Amino acid sequence: KSTTITRITRFGFTYFDHKSTVLKAIDIPANKASEFINTIVMDYNLPSKGSFLLGLTYSDDFSWDNIEYLYSPTMDGKYRSLTLFKNGDSITNTASFFIVDVNADWQLAPDLLLIQTSKSYLGGFFESSKQSIQEVPHVLTLDEAKQLQQFFMMIAISNLAGTLGMNLTYPSLT
């Protein structure tokens, strides 16, 4: 008979690697913005064109808005974080964009199960038991998913700052 004694939840990654790129598009004429956005949707294989366009449509002048995506285009554990920063200018009738693409390959650290296995002999007269540890995949909670999204936002802001000549760093993963 096997009994799980406890589940030890581990946080962090067993593996993390990423490549980041920043695309800067300044003063795109309003009549070309839809074409530009459609190209972004296709090039980055975004999951939902409607919400992406909706976010851009209702952003206002003189402030930088951002839209974040964290998704796995090929559903193979390799995730992509795309953050688009957008600013509209109604005076010049243009829009400016910074697109931060973080193409990441990572694996969450597995949780551990502490298992006790018992065997009885001679009708229960003798019993032996042993304990073992088994790794099981960690399933993200909603809070952990939000933290992961914030982590990718920090990478995006750091990359955007680097493009603008500022030096920002994000926490080490080791």
pLDDT in tens, 134-171: 998 888 788 887 888 788 888 888 878 888 788 776 65
Place of tokens 């909706």: 54
Number of helical (H) and strand (E) elements in the chain, helices listed first: 3, 7
Give the residue carrying structure tokens 């007269």: 125
pLDDT of residue 112: 92
Question: Which residues have C-beta within 8 Å of that of residue 61, sequence separation ≥ 6?
Answer: 87, 88, 89, 90
Specify the number of domains making up the chain.
1
Of 3, 11, 6, give the one whose Cα is nearest residue 139.
11
Q: What pLDDT was estimated at residue 37?
A: 80
| pTM, two decimal places | 0.62
Q: Which domain holds residue 172?
A: 1-174
Integer CA distances (angstroms), 134 to 7, 20, 77, 116, 140, in order: 10, 35, 22, 11, 18
Quote the CA–CA distance of 39 and 3 in Å, as a whole number.
54
Task: Kindly report, residue by residue over 10-52, the tens digit of the pLDDT.
Answer: 888 888 888 888 889 999 888 887 788 888 888 877 765 566 5
Q: Which of 122, 72, 81 is nearest to 100 (CA)?
A: 81
**Between the CA of residue 126 and those of 59, 68, 122, what are the distances in Å?**
73, 60, 6
| Beta-carbon-side half-sphere exposure of residue 160 (alpha carbons within 13 Å) | 19
Helices 30-43 and 49-57 sit at what angle, rounded to 10 degrees? 150
State which of 1-5, 7-11, 71-75 shows the largest mean pLDDT. 7-11
Percentage, residues of the chain above pLDDT 90: 5
- CB-based contact 64:87 (threshold 8 Å): yes
